[in-house]
Amino acid sequence: MRMEDMILISVDDHIVEPPNMFDGHVPDKYKDLAPKSVRKEQPDGSVIDVWVYEDSEIPNIGLNAVAGRPPEEYNFNPTAYTDCRPGTYDVAERVKDMDRNGVLASVCFPSFPQFCGQLFSRSQDLDVGYVMLQAYNDWHIDTWCGSQPGRFIPLSLPPIWDPELMAKEVRRVAAKGCYNVTFSEDPSKLGWPSLHSEHWDPFYKACIDEGMQICLHIGSSSTMIELNDAPIDTMITLTPMNSFQAAANLIWSPTLKRFPDLKFALSEGGIGWLPYFLERIDYVYERHRFWTGQQFGDMLPSAKAREVFSFCFIDDKAGVLERDLIGIDNISWECDYPHSYSSWSTSPEALWKHFDGIKISDEEINKITHLNAMNRFHFDPFAIRPREESTVAALRSRVTD
């Protein structure tokens, strides 16, 4: 296999929501209450775009839409749509950017409503919040994904303030063909009960009934690992440790004893720490289960972890080298477009560096680049487009400008 022959599905990208996204998705009587995109002049004369919802005003942060810019230009400043590549917010342009980058399909996480739709949970009237959240999901599934068949894997937001409503929404979007839902790596940090609580059981049950994978994106607890006075680089270095923590929290959780068939994706969590993590949980189990009371039957915790979790990476050579220790069926690739870790528009080249010069089979590469994603995220792009038209080379050849 050559780099050009890879078929790439990215299991973690991001949408900068376009200004007109709520048009046509909100019933007339709620129209005036929908979040609005507002253009604002800054004290320094520059112009930014913000989302306004009730009393909240949410800017788009520059670092979240840097695709195509050199690292020298990264910063945390708010931006206007006109500062960003159209591919960040316009789905037709997004597909062109995916073609340029040889990427067949993509899972897109939300931006302004936060990773698990927390914005809507803060609605003054939660009935209105639910209307807007449903509108978001409908727009995401029908417009963003629906307008580009075979190019996007739908991902829904949960009405996190009410587990019964979460279950209802899981069933509603599943009926529309969406089999992935975002949730929080630690909802207790958001003021809700922890991942272990029976509070969430209606949601967990619906996910199992509908074959819904739960995606826990780093940052979805709205907290960073806290170290006093730490340089910002420390915080950036530690973000994937949120996934380490979430995995450590879930694998021992009574939740997995009540719902052993739950499936979680640890989005943007990296993979290089997994050989250590998987060895560590077995070691803890062997040494401590007698007094902690853990039970995995005939299994080791590492084997259970491979059943439960799917992992992904952007740039992670150690993880790819150690794939046998992780489990080849558990590793997917992500692009992270348009965030600062994305190597767009040279992702195939960046990814190929992981495979080039090591002993790795075509089957392994295919699992990492797309087969595992298809399996875990319940998605079949080849129903729409044949394999031979889905490769890096085929997609890049479609780009005319």
Min dist CB 282 to its own copies, Å, is 10
Contact 337, 101 (CB under 8 A): yes
Q: Which is nearer to its own copies, 218 or 394 (CB)?
A: 218
Min dist CB 234 to its own copies, Å, is 5
275 lines the binding site for its own copies (CB under 8 A): yes
Cα–Cα nearest to 155, from 306, 363, 378, 344:
378
340 lines the binding site for its own copies (CB under 8 A): yes
Q: Are strands 331-333 and 309-313 parallel, antiparallel or unpaired?
A: parallel
CB-side exposure of 63: number of CA atoms within 13 Å?
5
Q: Which is nearer to its own copies, 25 or 217 (CB)?
A: 217
What whole-number distance in Å separates Cα of residue 203 and Cα of residue 168? 8
What whole-number distance in Å separates Cα of residue 153 and Cα of residue 155? 7
186 lines the binding site for its own copies (CB under 8 A): yes
What whole-number distance in Å separates Cα of residue 108 and Cα of residue 89? 11
**Can you spell out the DSSP letters for 89-147?**
T-HHHHHHHHHHTTEEEEEEE-STT-TT-HHHHT-SSHHHHHHHHHHHHHIIIIIIITT
**Candidate residues 105, 153, 218, 281; the one interacting with its own copies per rule CB under 8 A:** 281
**Candidate residues 117, 154, 163, 319; the one interacting with its own copies per rule CB under 8 A:** 319
Min dist CB 37 to its own copies, Å, is 26
Contact 165, 124 (CB under 8 A): no
Binding mask 69-88 for its own copies (x = CB under 8 A): --xxxxxx------------
249 lines the binding site for its own copies (CB under 8 A): yes
52 lines the binding site for its own copies (CB under 8 A): no
**Candidate residues 19, 58, 90, 188; the one interacting with its own copies per rule CB under 8 A:** 188
Min dist CB 373 to its own copies, Å, is 21
Residue count, binding to its own copies (CB under 8 A):
65
229 lines the binding site for its own copies (CB under 8 A): yes
Options 160-168, 239-247, 356-364, 376-384: segment touching its own copies (CB under 8 A): 239-247
